[in-house]
A = this chain, B = another copy of it.
């Protein structure tokens, strides 16, 4: 397609999304849930078509020479389609934040004010290879009364089209407004640029994918962007830590699922316990196949590779851990605030006061005391579902559930009050 055609097609979708948003904001919770259940059923009924479409993507991916891990993320079978449908049913069962009165007060002149949760309006989701995002993101946005435009990666285009079609058709029968869920049906790169310019029609863009994609969107977008950048997560083992607990937390944070943003990347150890703690934790980590890269002090205590300056700012997403010995809690905090990514950081200590000092000083979305970094997650926090873990400081920080997909408005009621 020519760039002008892409631009025009995307603008049409964006205008349609805005029109749909006004209708979506008027749907009752019961109606939205009925539509969600219909979409789940429709998705299950379309399993054969979806798996067939997915086979085209897999064949194209194999031809293109995609890696095994990438192909696995791309692959859909009956069980995975069923899991996606189950996810929709879960979202239907969650409480609806729209309409919630957040605050309520009265002014001396008699005016009654309410701050009420309302949908954001229109949300653009730009994502990469996993086709399940088509459904997961669309239904979370729909539950909160938002219209979505989904723009997936080219490697999953057939799967994405099949999933979107199943959702749209099943939803429409139950009253889903037209254009409430739209998928950009082509994969021209210029469609990302075009979406980024639709600030009149799109209220926010959420990019889900690698750093390159996020950087592109940040540089081009005129509307707010909710970024999900990397997680360079730390565990700091204080001099006052229960060292058995520390070993357990470090091993779990690093190895329970190393390829995700809330996995541990850098271990900080107070110098007073370096001699007793490092050999024990090193053995436990090596037994799990973790490669260790230590600072000079660490290298004295254990057998490991030398860490370079670059290691302190690296998200490995792999069985690699950098280790640094620090002389104080303050040094640990300073290292985290300087080198971390403000995602999730944990202190292990038996001393409540030192824990509070850490929690108060670390500038991260999630600050933990004596729990694994792997708990930085919407489901684990009890949000029921998450659209991701935001690295923003504005609007939504950390795990994002349904509430973070809403805005609010002030409703003021009076009896003719005028300003003097």
Contacts and interface: CB of A to CB of B under 8 A. Distances in A.
Given A222-B219, A381-B113, A412-B366, A249 B418 contact: yes
A25 B337 CA distance: 13
Given A370-B415, A416-B248, A382 B107 contact: yes
Interface stretch (A126-134, A282-290, A303-311, A394-402): A394-402
A62 interface: no
A395 B419 CA distance: 28
Interface string A331-375: 000000100000000000000000100011101111111111011
A256 interface: yes
What number of copies of this chain does the assembly contain?
2
Interface in A47-62: none
State the majority secondary structure of interface residues on A. mixed
A181 interface: no
Interface residues of A, number: 67
A17 to B, nearest CB: 13
Nearest to A108: B382
A419 B26 contact: no
Given A120-B393, A409-B366, A375 B111 contact: yes
A375 B242 contact: no
Contacts of A370: 413-417
A291 interface: no
B372 A418 contact: yes
Interface string A216-245: 001100101110000000000000001001
Given A120-B393, A372-B419, A394-B224, A411 B359 contact: yes
B417 A371 contact: yes
A294 B107 CA distance: 35
A252 interface: yes
A5 to B, nearest CB: 24
A186 interface: no
A121 interface: yes
Contact of A248 (B226, B372, B382, B418): B418
A398 B410 contact: yes
Contacts of A371: 111, 412-414, 416-418
A290 B16 CA distance: 38
A380 B374 CA distance: 45
A26 B394 contact: no
Given A366-B412, A397-B408, 16 more contacts: A21-B363, A26-B361, A107-B380, A199-B218, A204-B393, A224-B224, A245-B415, A248-B418, A252-B418, A256-B418, A366-B409, A372-B417, A374-B418, A375-B412, A398-B410, A399-B410
